Amino acid sequence: MAGTRPHGRAERRSAGELESEVLAALWATDDALTPAEIHAEIGGGLAYNTVHTILKRLYDKGLVLRDVDGRRGAYRPAKNAAELTAEAMHQALDRGPDPIAALQQFVTGLSPREEEALRDLLGGNGS
């Protein structure tokens, strides 16, 4: 039957999902990691060569750096998770026709804790 997978095969993950998993593994440590260490961390039936491909894509995008100071072939993130998320938010706002409306929609979806943090960051005390 078309579209079915043989028993025992892992679901195929998208390139974006794999990139996120590699970045998460790198963010979880202060050390640069080799492809073998990343492969062991991610697991899930992922081919070792796929880790190399994902690292090359991330390197080409400027999201990881090759460690030139230590172990050969080790990688570290170019930006931390918060920096990367903030960059994506800025890019999303820049793409839309009405960034103020997008911000309004975004803020209405914040949890009370997130709203309080935003108010603190903007210097407001909520009153």
The answer to the question of residue 126 being in a domain is: no
How far CA 24 is from CA of 34, 47, 76, in Å, comes to 14, 18, 11
Q: Are residues 68 and 93 in the same domain?
A: no
Q: Are residues 39 and 72 in the same domain?
A: yes
How many CA atoms within 13 Å lie on the side-chain side of 53? 9
Structural domain including 94 reads: 81-121
Count of domains in the chain? 2
The answer to the question of residue 5 being in a domain is: no
The answer to the question of residue 9 being in a domain is: no
Is the pTM here over 0.85, yes or no? Answer: no
What local confidence, expressed as pLDDT, does residue 3 receive?
44
The answer to the question of residue 3 being in a domain is: no
Q: Are residues 88 and 72 in the same domain?
A: no
Whether 71 contacts 58, CB under 8 Å: no
How far CA 117 is from CA of 82, 102, 111, in Å, comes to 14, 19, 10
Q: Are residues 71 and 88 in the same domain?
A: no
Q: Are residues 66 and 110 in the same domain?
A: no
Question: Per-residue pLDDT for the chain (127 aa), expressed as one digit of tens each?
Answer: 444 444 444 567 787 899 999 999 999 999 999 999 999 999 878 899 999 999 999 999 999 999 866 556 899 999 999 999 999 999 999 999 999 999 999 999 999 999 999 999 999 655 4
